Amino acid sequence: MKAEYINPFLESASIVLEQMICVRPTTGELGIKDVKLADNYIWIQIGLTGQMQGDIVFGLHESVALKLVSAMMGGFTITEMDEMSKSAISELGNMISGNASTILFNQGVKVDITPPVVLQSANHAGFTAKKALTIPLIINGIGEMDIQVLIS
């Protein structure tokens, strides 16, 4: 697993978050860890096809997701992960991944993304724990969002 796989997603996430919520995130420590679904977390899973095969998974605590969605809605306080909130957080993952695929294309790597899937339960069918290259984004005043790249 190459560290440069995560860089386009990191760059894209920083740009998209700054545009959407006017906060430039900082990065935490790059590492490899087991990606396991956990209760009280929101996971946005997007498949990668083409010259890169695998998944990108954005993981964030539900309270962080609610703060992000609130910021995306212009500061309107969102208190539950209803269908609109899930749609907004899903679209955030889609925008980050779409921009990252453009960055990759400009680097000579052709990759397509699948529509995002929002997972909320630790018992979600079809998701098994996997090793991933991961880096946390620290969003000042909001919390942390993990970017996890699972490339086969």
**What is the CATH classification number for the domain harbouring 116?**
3.40.1550.10
DSSP state of 37: -
CA distance 114 to 96: 13
| Domain that residue 61 falls in | 3-151
Q: What is the pLDDT of residue 2?
A: 64
pLDDT value at residue 46: 95
Encoding tokens for residue 127? 């998701």
Indicate the SS3 state at residue 78.
coil
Q: What is the model's pLDDT at position 67?
A: 95
Query: pLDDT tens per residue, the chain (152 residues)?
Result: 566 778 999 999 999 999 999 999 999 998 888 877 777 899 999 999 999 999 999 999 999 999 999 999 888 899 999 999 999 999 999 999 999 999 999 999 999 999 999 988 655 555 666 788 899 999 999 999 999 988 87
What's the total number of domains in the chain? 1
- The whole-model pTM stands at 0.90
Of 91, 93, 105, 110, give the one whose Cα is nearest residue 49. 110
Q: How far apart are CA 59 and CA 152, in angstroms?
A: 19
